[in-house]
Amino acid sequence: MNPGIDLQGTFIQSLKDLGIPSGAAKAIWMPLPMFLMIIGATVGVLVVVWLERKISAAAQQRIGPEFAGPLGVLQPVADGLKLVFKEDIVPAKTDRLLFTLGPIIVVIPVFLSYLIVPFGQNLVIANISVGVFLWIALSSIAPIGLLMSGYSSNNKYSLLGGLRAAAQSISYEIPLALSVLAIAMMSNSLSTIDIVEQQSGYGIFSWNIWRQPVGFIIFWIAALAECERLPFDLPEAEEELVAGYQTEYSGMKFGLFYIGSYVNLVLSALLVAILYLGGWEFPIPIEMLGSWLGFNEASPMLQVIDASLGITMTLLKAYFLIFIAVLLRWTLPRVRIDQLLNLGWKFLLPVSLVNLLLTAALKLAFPGAFGG
């Protein structure tokens, strides 16, 4: 594999050339990817909110947002602004600290998880060897935040809602982790980069979805449930069920929950794209394409094209999955809480266990195809 573009290295090197000591150069570099991550995630959320409103409008033969900006693209911004300017009400006799901490704890781990999302060989903020594990660990913080905000609202229905949300998150965490485990086993690594790398051999045919179709479906279902998307949006069905954990929240604190769930949706879609759909890989291997068209493999031109193609491909795959999630939202009815738990514990868990065992067996039997 060629090293591709090394943004960090070139950035630091060019600062050093300007006469800045290497420690300072590294310190200047550090906030850049963080800001990039936050801005990227926020823009992703705005796009998803707009897409959701437009697609759902199309599915119902409506028009959707139209007046804020061309085709209503500024509508999510307007919504966000409205939430910012709303009064922030804290109910009487709440635990103020927990009440404020709750939404923050729900949101921050989701943003942090963006650290491990790679858009290319070197286009990742932190290439840690336990990337996927880190994501699973981070995503299990969210239930604590949900429980916290439900508990601190000084409202028994909110408490029940918080418990419900936590129960849902926990019961879908396990099949999710198990299906990720199968992937990790196949690619002999927990690093997202390695996982994509391992799928890069034969273009579209080497994507994990062909080797892990069951795992893919389980992962997507569990991810939808984790993001509290329909048909699993029991914890936050504000209008219908009344008693969610966020009943007492208003203004931006409520908005944080919303942002959290949308960021989580984008993140899950990105991760599905990375784990199962070959991440930044083009359906045809890019090196092959390059050699067909007669490019030098190490030419900077090809590398820039490769990087931008990688970002585009990852986003395309992720947004395709988001599109499916939106379609699902307008197709499926919401499940009941007992159906939800049944599905999680009695269906997804055993199926993902079997899937894991099968993967292990296949790995032993066909080490070539299943990553020996």
| Cα angle, residue 49 at apex, residues 44 and 54 outer, rounded to 5° | 125
Q: How far apart are CA 323 and CA 339, in angstroms?
A: 25
Q: How far apart are CA 157 and CA 248, in angstroms?
A: 10
Compare residues 62 and 82 and give the one whose CB is closer to another protein: 62
Site mask, another protein, residues 58-97, x = CB under 8 A?
xxxxxx----------------------------------
- 3-class secondary structure, 203: helix
CB of 295 to another protein, least distance (A): 38
Q: How far apart are CA 361 and CA 372, in angstroms?
A: 11
Tokens 């991760």 correspond to what residue?
Answer: 271
330 binds another protein (CB under 8 A): yes
Compare residues 16 and 334 and give the one whose CB is closer to another protein: 334
- Closest-CA residue to 226 (of 190, 160, 180, 274): 180
Compare residues 61 and 292 and give the one whose CB is closer to another protein: 61
Which one of 332, 364, 365, 369 is in contact with another protein (CB under 8 A)? 332
327 binds another protein (CB under 8 A): yes
| Cα angle, residue 249 at apex, residues 325 and 104 outer, rounded to 5° | 70
Helices (H) and strands (E) in the chain, counts: 17, 0
Residues from 340 through 369 that contact another protein (CB under 8 A)? 347
55 binds another protein (CB under 8 A): yes
Which among 21-29, 53-61, 98-106, 183-191 is the span making contact with another protein, rule CB under 8 A? 53-61
Which among 51-59, 75-83, 100-108, 158-166 is the span making contact with another protein, rule CB under 8 A? 51-59
312 binds another protein (CB under 8 A): no
284 binds another protein (CB under 8 A): no
Size of the site for another protein (CB under 8 A): 15
| Cα angle, residue 280 at apex, residues 278 and 77 outer, rounded to 5° | 115
Which among 83-91, 134-142, 308-316, 323-331 is the span making contact with another protein, rule CB under 8 A? 323-331
Beta-carbon contacts of residue 237 (< 8 Å; ≥ 6 apart): 244, 334
DSSP code for 250 = -
Compare residues 11 and 323 and give the one whose CB is closer to another protein: 323
Q: How far apart are CA 119 and CA 313, in angstroms?
A: 9
Compare residues 6 and 66 and give the one whose CB is closer to another protein: 66
Which among 77-85, 167-175, 198-206, 320-328 is the span making contact with another protein, rule CB under 8 A? 320-328
Q: At what angle do helices 156-187 and 213-226 cross, to 10 degrees?
A: 150
Q: Which residues bind another protein (CB under 8 A)?
A: 55, 57-63, 324, 327-328, 330-332, 347
